[in-house]
Structure 1
């Protein structure tokens, strides 16, 4: 599995994320805690975890795309 870190300020709070690729999905850790998983079907969707805010989901997906793009 491949993973990479990134930092982002969401709603005025800085967080440290780690995204881990697991086949066709990506596990998301925020500040050392697993918060969910996302996958790209026709568009990006959260597949596990408590629902993420649109702003956070967009940030995560943009970082995945830029990392692998």
Structure 2
């Protein structure tokens, strides 16, 4: 795999209702795989705006939190 084709990922943790969850976001071009506690829960994309492509529908709060983490990682 060429360096420009390598997948890039980063972790973050978040506490929800007193329970800490560990997330990992993996970027593949304009798509982002989202793992929660080691299980893939969604795939997101960003074109004109954020969209969830797969997985069980995320709550509005969770979706916004994940998108904000992705954006802040690249700032």
Please give the TM-score of this superposition, normalised by the length of structure 2.
0.85
Larger relative contact order (C-alpha < 8 A, sep ≥ 6)?
1
Offset at residue 9 of structure 1 (A): 1.8
Count of aligned residue pairs for this structure pair:
69
Residues in 1 aligned to 2:17 and 2:59: alpha-carbon distance in whole angstroms = 10
Report what 1:34 is aligned to.
40
Please give the TM-score of this superposition, normalised by the length of structure 1.
0.92
1:42 counterpart SS class: coil
Q: What's the RMSD between the two structures over aligned residues?
A: 1.0
Report what 1:44 is aligned to.
50
1:17 counterpart SS class: strand
Unaligned runs of 5+ residues in structure 2 are 1-6
Residues in 2 aligned to 1:41 and 1:14: alpha-carbon distance in whole angstroms = 30
Greater gyration radius: 2
Offset at residue 11 of structure 1 (A): 3.9
Structure 1, 12-21 or 59-68: larger mean CA deviation? 12-21
